[in-house]
Amino acid sequence: MSRDKNRVIIFDTTLRDGEQSPGCSMTLNEKLRVAEALEELGVDVIEAGFAIASNGDFQAVSQISALLKETTVCSLARASTKDIDRAWEALRGAKRPRIHTFISTSPLHMEHKLNMSPEKVLEKIAESVSYARNLCDDVEWSCEDGTRTEEDYLYKSIETAIKAGATTINVPDTVGYTTPVEYTEMMRKIIENVPNSDKAIFSTHCHNDLGLAVANSIAAVEGGARQIECTVNGIGERAGNAALEEIAMAFRTRHDMLPYTTGIVTENITKTSHLVSSVTGLNVQHNKAIVGANAFAHESGIHQDGMLKNAETYEIMTPESVGLGKSTLVMGKHSGRHAFSEKLKELGYELGNNEFLSAFQQFKDLADAKKVVYDEDIIAIVDDGMRDNDGMQITSWKFVCDHGVPNSATFEIVADGSVKEVHSEGNGPVDAAFLALSSLIEGEPDLELYQVHAVTKGTDAQAEVTVRLSDDGRTVNGHAAHTDTLVASAKAYLNAINKLLVKREKGKPEEMAV
């Protein structure tokens, strides 16, 4: 069956490259939720992890493989039989499995990272790709640091990989170095000069070090690539990856200049963005394209006047096209279960019975405490309730903050069915809370970030808090929301501790940059 020549495959690596962002580690349950959301979003390929990196990554790839119904599930592997065997073991249950193997090809990487000759790297390409192809029909090969690889050697490497059985060839801009014009020409020349290029689909994987990841990805498609590797909200190593939502909406909005299509259900973009932000603890910047809080906001009087006359004067796409409905104030303390259920459906959530009852009770409590309840408030409630906190949880709290007495925080903590109380004094209630909770873990992790912002307007708004902790080279983000800023702060800190404990159990991950 022939492929649509303008159909672009969307390869999402939020769960692999995205998770390599400092602090972005996700638990297994969180990864499963994100994977389901990505399938609903219409992603073609999900890179579920790097199976050999840890038992946690292996379990994630394995369980996502069993969970997904249509989407191709992929695992990363270095150019070694051990890596490839582990990847295949994790992928066996997938309806559509893919092994993604890679090796560096730039002179800089071959000399200083691999300590291998160009000839030896070619041998490893042939051996690893052939080995993977004997296990799996769908094999992707990447030339790490491809955009800084010598031209003739790049052609030879790609020819070798395709001859060995690679069905997708990824030419990554690993360090975000290339430019759009350069990348378009590079992709065209690869396809023209590699003798067997017609036997593979070419892919792009761009990092955003110079802010060009999306532009470069689109430029590669202009040059003949038909797969884009990207992440939700553009998260990833260093400055991040190409943002999935920006690519999808660029193709949809400028179809006159970019006649390419994807399988992305753009109306699910905002919901998926909120989920990824929630589980990673990375807030989306307000001026972020497509999914930022200000993406469809207009404050200038001239702009507002134009919008009132015709929205197209200042909006090139509709909020509805990315699943963003206008906030409404119809929910309140008199709203019942049915109305709340319908509101959840409108916002794109489907909760189990226990989750629904818990969210509804929190909504009623919030409605009693606030004058008005916004859609953003409900999203914060659901996201906070769905956040994976299977380790330790705060069940009660007491803060003392008064002039002339020591500031302190006391918490009742439940873990594995047992109850423990922790208490500390500090330089203010937040400091006391963090000191008390840090006693739950060996060693005191470094607090790298403490960020508070209001979910909605008003002095009665819920506070969303993000906490970033670092410990022995590990970095985690904690996230929580509550009408009481002190409670939100404590819950975010404990969320980070829970993640840090999981990360300690995994040990340090193997290197896995592409």
User: With 90 as the cut, is the pLDDT of residue 511 above it?
Assistant: no
pLDDT surpassing 80 at residue 274: yes
Selection from 208, 131, 154, 145 nearest residue 174 by Cα: 145
CATH number of the domain enclosing 429: 3.30.160.270
**What value does the mean pLDDT take over residues 21-47?**
91
User: Residue 381 domain-assigned?
Assistant: no
What phi and psi, each to the nearest 5 degrees, are found at residue 120?
-70, -35
| Range from 199-203, 209-213, 297-301, 484-488 carrying the lowest mean pLDDT | 297-301
- Is 472 a domain residue? yes
> For 281-422, where are the alpha helices, taking DSSP H only?
301-309, 337-346, 353-369, 375-386
**Per-residue confidence (pLDDT) for residue 316, from 0 to 100:** 83
* Residue 186 CA: distances (Å) to CA of 179, 216, 238, 305: 10, 11, 24, 46
The residue written with tokens 């761009």 in the block is: 206
Cβ–Cβ < 8 Å for 381, 374? no
What's the pLDDT at 410?
97
More confident residue, 462 or 507: 462
What pLDDT shows up at residue 153? 97
Residue 1 clears pLDDT 50, i.e. is over it:
no
Residue-number span of the structural domain to which 449 is assigned: 393-506
Work out the average pLDDT over 248-256: 97
Averaged pLDDT of the chain: 89
Secondary structure letter of residue 24 according to DSSP: -
What pLDDT is stored for residue 300 in this prediction? 47
Please check the confidence at residue 2 and state whether its pLDDT lies above 80: no
pLDDT at position 136 is 98
- The domain boundary residue, chosen from 203, 221, 253: 253
In the sheet that holds 407-415, the strands lie side by side as 393-400, 407-415, 418-426
pLDDT of the residue at 409: 96
pLDDT in tens, 79-107: 999 999 999 999 999 999 999 999 999 99
Tell me whether residue 4 is in a domain: no
What is the distance between the alpha carbons of residues 381 and 359, in angstroms, rounded to a whole number?
7
From 200, 224, 253, the end of a domain falls on 253
In a domain, 433, yes or no: yes
Q: Positive or negative CA dihedral for 130, 131, 135, 141?
A: negative
Q: Is 380 a domain residue? A: no
Three-state DSSP string of 218-251: HHHHHCCCCEEEEEHHHCCCCCCECEHHHHHHHH
Q: Cα torsion for 487, 488, 493, 495, to the nearest 10°?
A: 110
Counting beta carbons within 10 angstroms of the beta carbon of residue 431, is it exposed (0 to 12), middle (13 to 18) or buried (19 or more)?
middle
Phi, psi angles (nearest 5°) of residue 462: -65, 145
Domain count, the chain: 2
Contact 190, 197 (CB under 8 A): yes
Which of 253, 286, 307 is the last residue before a domain boundary? 253
pLDDT: is 502 or 68 the higher one?
68
Rounded-to-integer distance, Cα 203 and Cα 227, Å: 4
Section 406-433 average pLDDT: 94
pLDDT digits (tens, 9 = 90+) for 205-218: 999 999 999 999 99
The CA distance from 32 to 30, in Å, is: 5
Mean pLDDT over 315-332 rounds to 74
Q: Is residue 56 included in any domain, yes or no?
A: yes
User: How do residues 112-151 score in pLDDT, each as one tens digit?
Assistant: 999 999 999 999 999 999 999 999 999 999 999 999 999 9
The Cα–Cα gap between 488 and 496 comes to 12
* DSSP H/E element including 252: helix 244-253
Statement: residue 269 has pLDDT above 70: yes
501 phi and psi, to 5 degrees?
-65, -40
Query: What does the pLDDT average to over 258-273?
Result: 96
DSSP string covering 389-414, please? --S-EEEEEEEE--TTS-EEEEEEEE
In sequence order, the β-bridge partners of residue 423 are 410
pLDDT, tens only, 355-407: 888 888 888 888 888 777 877 788 888 877 766 555 899 999 999 998 888 99
Which of 127-136, 338-347, 487-496 has the highest mean predicted lDDT (pLDDT)?
127-136
Residue 314 confidence (pLDDT): 59
The share of the chain scoring above pLDDT 70, in percent, equals 92
| Residue 195 belongs to a domain | yes
In a domain, residue 425? The reply is yes
Distance (Å, rounded) from C-alpha 348 to C-alpha 362?
Answer: 18
Q: In what order do the strands lie in the sheet with 446-454?
A: 446-454, 463-471, 474-482
Give yes or no for residue 327 having a pLDDT over 60: no
CATH number at residue 248: 3.20.20.70
pTM: 0.84
Pairwise CA distance, residues 322 & 395, whole Å: 37
In sequence order, what are the residues at sequence separation of 6 or more whose Cβ sits closer than 8 angstroms to the Cβ of residue 399?
407, 408, 409, 410, 429, 432, 433, 486
Q: Note the pLDDT of residue 307.
A: 47
Flag whether pLDDT at 305 surpasses 80: no
